A and B are shown apart, each in its own frame.
Chain A
Amino acid sequence: MGWESWIIDTLKRALAYGTPLLWGTLGEIYAERAGVVNLGVEGMMILGALSAFAVAQSTGNPWLGILAASVVGGFAALIHAFFSVTLRANQYVSGLALTIFGLGLSGLLGTSWVGISLKNPLPKATIPGLERIPILGEALFRDHSYLTYIGIVLAVVLWFVLYKTRWGIAIRSVGESPSTADAMGIDVFAVQYLCVIFGGILAGVAGGFLSVEYRPAWTEGMTAGMGWIVIALTIFAAWDPLQAVGGVVLFGALYHLAYRLQAWFPPEFLKLMPYAFAILVLAVAGLRKVKRGAPASLGVPYVRGQR
């Protein structure tokens, strides 16, 4: 038991804790790259968590639960897209409304599911071959949720799409300069709608991961502010899917290390660590001046032909 097992353990826990953060962050990155801030991540995640649990418990199939979570997350995001893109409402307020609404609705509908533990949670998987790599293999490729592996692959794919394809150029252009994209015949609203909905689907899955895998049960308010941490990580990752993986692992590792201090600190202090880290991470981002990398039209509703 030396530093090796220490590293393995830290990375393992960091990835497990970080998986919902990763899914959520990847989704928010796409929404914000298209110029729409969605502060409703917390609301979309909690609705995803409840629907995933309800469906997984009723059908006995956790994957159907995840599917349900993604659909519900997508619909929740559609509401935000309608208000912020079509009605050009204040994106902050619309997102807050979505979070308040989502927390309320999940509390209202979830009462009958409280206190049941899921009979059939999402299985874990080990990747044959890769798991044999010393240290890293054990940390990264053994006994993780499928969603962890998919999440990391997804990050790479999303990075590739964003920077190396036609769609990526369109999405980034819409976030940087919607009037340019419009003049070049890109349907700005369609791109924004799709990206926001895509973000909601991923946030829904993130919530689903919590209730059918991480803690396979439904408790009210179980996202506990993770949606907000996602928004902090989006900024920290400088709106880049690959950097998001790094940010999430770093965040997860910090979180896990805090638990190593259990002997010295009361549990309440450990529980408030993630929230303090979120602020810390943003302060670091401020020092790194990543704000300069923000999409230039982030948060500004697009109006064609405004005089």
Chain B
Amino acid sequence: MAEKRTDAHPDSLASHQNVALLMRDITKVFPGVVANDKVTFELKVGEVHALLGENGAGKTTLMNILYGLYQADSGEIYLYGKRVRIRSPRDAIRHRIGMVHQHFKLVPRHTVAENVVLGLDGAPFLAPARAVEDEILQLGERYGLKVDPKAYIWQLSAGEQQRVEIIKALVRGADILILDEPTSVLTPQEVEELFKILARMREEGHSVIFITHKLDEVMEVSDRVTVMRRGKVVATLSTADVNKPTLAKMMVGREVVFRLKKVACERGQEALVVEDLWALSDRGLPALKGISFSVCRGEILGIAGVAGNGQKELVEVITGLRRATRGKVFVLGDEVTNENPRRIADKGVAHIPEERLKRGIVPEMSVAENLILKRHHRSPFCHGFFLNLRAVKRFAHHAIEEYAIMTPGPDTPAKLLSGGNIQRLILARELSGEPALVIAAHPTYGLDVGATEQIRQILLEQRRRGAAILLISEDLEELMSLADRIAVIFEGEIMGEVSPEAATLEEIGLMMAGEKRRVRR
């Protein structure tokens, strides 16, 4: 790369008085992937600018470069016409850039005020947290960001935590605010709240970059939109001039016909029955408070809800990974409450776990060895004390082919696979035993469109085969298109159950916020 020594502003752009930020020809390479390929991005003063793209399109990488978390391999950044170098978040903050990450950068065991004051220039040495409490309350008034400065982060809902993140940026005087997928953890009502806050910020002269992959949000909140695909910018447009289908096509790179073939299925025997289930969270607080439902063979029951309302605990109790303090779980008519996970799995329960990398695979072990996890103690893979390595290998070849797992070979360590292929590996392992019950927690979270489509097809195929499926997801569209029934969970209780054909998003949204309880069968 030719080094440009000039700090002067390029003439062609000098006329654009109202440009807050220009990132030009940004390139960033990670091992195996070009995350940003000569990306140019422009933000005007006082606009909300949507950065639209699929997972892996390079949106977050670009913004992490702007925020100083990564260094670009090449390219330049101009703020208000002046060339800047941003080497660290500290630099970014000094240049009045704030970022709200998708996974909040908060210390759960600290208070709101302690989190706000962390690393804040000019905070007093003694009792720094107390010093910012007033300011937090004032900002809360001004922008509608209500939050108690003395509360601990772990006590707050996701929406409140997000407010803390925004306050953190505002306290540091951020003019440019980056929001990375801010709506993914919010209820529809909280999303409305957020949009109001963004409108207030725009009025006060802030510029906002809004990273998302949801078209509705782009149309609703943004002034302009930049679409990215596979590390490149496809186009930057004024939101008023575009419509959803056009954006969708730009984002995915082809015509999107998102219609899953869902055939009617005969409801069979009850595969899973949950009766008055109670359980505690990791912190020892009640996470499930008397949950009851059942799932039959040949149907998909969707569980909707904002993250952290007991979904994780529900899955863990059913699969034997967490103790139920009260209530019963039946699989195919047999009680399995608080049985050990192996015994439950052996009964024909497949579990596609939420934490794919942490739980779903053993990263250092080979693809073949990962494919027999949970069945490694049974025939044909194990006879007595010894493993049958030939059977393991045979099964691996078969599974890699059937589920189209892209891997150099069965002996490759599982950690080297991409996210989509890791999920295919898990599905191959869990579904090849023809389970009676499939528990799928966020099965398409963070995957690209191709893998998402394939995995949804596989789940429908299982339903057709006669498996009962419990589908936990935060993606309402996914639930609406796959599930036969949707139950909404809020603070460890089922708020009600709806059929996807009859329900509206608003209805479900209200139940997700715990505001309304409706039982309709």
Contacts and interface: CB of A to CB of B under 8 A. Distances in A.
Interface in A160-186: 164-167, 169-170, 172-173, 176-177, 179-186
A296 interface: yes
B119 A172 contact: no
Contacts of A176: 107-110
A249 to B, nearest CB: 27
Interface in B87-120: 88-90, 93, 99, 101, 105-110, 114-115, 117-120
Interface string A281-307: 000000000000000100000001101
Contact of B89 (A177, A185, A307): A185
Band of interface residues on A: 20 to 34
A164 B127 contact: yes
A176 B168 CA distance: 18
B30 A169 contact: no
A180 B64 contact: no
A177 B127 contact: no
B70 A169 contact: no
Given A164-B126, A180-B106, A185 B90 contact: yes
B124 interface: yes
Given A305-B70, A307-B30, A166 B107 contact: no
B123 interface: yes
A305 B90 contact: no
Contacts of A185: 88-90, 93, 119
B105 A183 contact: yes
Contact of B124 (A166, A177, A184): A166
B69 A184 contact: no
Contacts of B105: 177, 179-180, 183-184
A169 B128 contact: yes
B125 interface: yes
B129 interface: yes
A84 B129 CA distance: 31
Contacts of B89: 182-185
B119 A304 contact: no
A184 B30 contact: no
A181 B90 CA distance: 11
B107 A173 contact: yes
Contact of A173 (B88, B101, B110, B124): B110
Nearest to A177: B107
A169 B118 contact: yes
A180 to B, nearest CB: 4
Interface in A97-120: none
A186 B120 CA distance: 9
B129 A169 contact: yes
Given A176-B108, A296-B109, A170 B119 contact: yes
Contacts of B93: 184-185
Contacts of A181: 118-119
A180 B161 CA distance: 14
Contact of A166 (B90, B108, B117): B117
A183 B99 contact: yes
B110 A166 contact: no
Contact of B110 (A165, A172, A182, A305): A172
B109 A183 contact: no
Nearest to A185: B90
Interface in B152-207: 168
Contacts of B114: 169
B347 to A, nearest CB: 32
Interface in A54-110: none
A168 to B, nearest CB: 9
A188 B89 CA distance: 12
A307 B107 CA distance: 21
A283 B69 CA distance: 42
Interface in B464-498: none
A186 B119 contact: yes
A288 B342 CA distance: 29
Given A184-B89, A184-B105, A166 B123 contact: yes
B69 A170 contact: no
A296 B153 CA distance: 14
B117 A169 contact: yes
B270 to A, nearest CB: 38
B162 to A, nearest CB: 15
Nearest to B128: A166
Contacts of B64: 305
Interface string B265-289: 0000000000000000000000000
A305 B88 contact: no
A181 B129 CA distance: 16
Interface string A212-240: 00000000000000000000000000000
Contact of B69 (A167, A186, A305): A305
Contacts of B117: 166, 169
A185 B70 CA distance: 13
Question: Top 4 closest A-B pairs, CB basis?
Answer: A185-B90, A184-B119, A180-B105, A183-B105
25 contacts: A164-B126, A165-B125, A165-B126, A165-B128, A166-B124, A166-B125, A169-B118, A173-B107, A173-B110, A176-B107, A176-B109, A177-B105, A177-B106, A177-B108, A180-B115, A181-B119, A183-B67, A184-B89, A184-B93, A185-B88, A186-B118, A186-B119, A296-B109, A305-B70, A307-B30
Interface of A: 164-167, 169-170, 172-173, 176-177, 179-186, 296, 304-305, 307
Interface of B: 30, 64, 67, 69-70, 88-90, 93, 99, 101, 105-110, 114-115, 117-120, 123-129, 168
